[in-house]
Amino acid sequence: MSTEIHLAQQPEADALLGRSSLAALVGMLLDQQVPMEWAFAGPYTITQRLGTEDLDAGQIAAYDPEAFAALLSEKPAVHRYPGSMAKRIQQLCRFLVEEYGGDATAVWADAESGKELLARLKALPGFGTQKAQIFLALLGKQYGVRPEGWREAAGPYGEANCYRSAADITGAESLAKVREFKQEAKRAAKAAKASGA
């Protein structure tokens, strides 16, 4: 797997996302309550601190939990909540070791349909329906993983020519459009909540 990715907006971090399935999964896991670029730069920061070229599910799964949390908490922290995210990353890596022999690519490599792939992604620790659909759309749109029915399984995130999520970011311009979409969605949700209260 080697794809040109622009999610972290940093060349080294994006290069890692482009060649490492586990880095892409961990970036997606981190993508909550922090800016998207910060989340997707996280895997690269972790490799730097581990002194490795790539993330290794077996190594992370076996890492001492307190030491791993400390690694993510070093300044600048990998996430706004480095302790809880360290736990989540380790849970994800343990699951990958147990279910897929530590190979993140195996999650989607032989999925025969979008529906099957969505079910596999939803089974991953830390991946709810929305996160699974966004990652499925990201796989289809940018990594060339397109089992039959992938767009439908990804829901609105699978639509072509839209700017809803990380799946649609190919550079600074599309990042700005996705930001705009998310802010608009937040405003609409607030307005709906206010009128319903």
Per-residue pLDDT at 175 exceeds 90: no
Q: Which residue has the higher pLDDT, 75 or 185?
A: 75
The CA radius of gyration of the chain, in Å to the nearest whole number, is 17
Residue 10: pLDDT band by 50, 70, 90 thresholds?
very high
Residue 79 neighbours by CB under 8 Å, 6+ apart: 30, 33, 34, 38, 39, 42, 72, 85
Rounded to whole angstroms, the maximal C-alpha distance in the chain is 52
Sign of the alpha-carbon dihedral angle for 152, 21, 132, 11: negative
Q: How far, in whole angstroms, is CA 3 from its chain's centroid? A: 15
Name the pTM for this structure.
Answer: 0.92
Per-residue pLDDT at 105 exceeds 60: yes
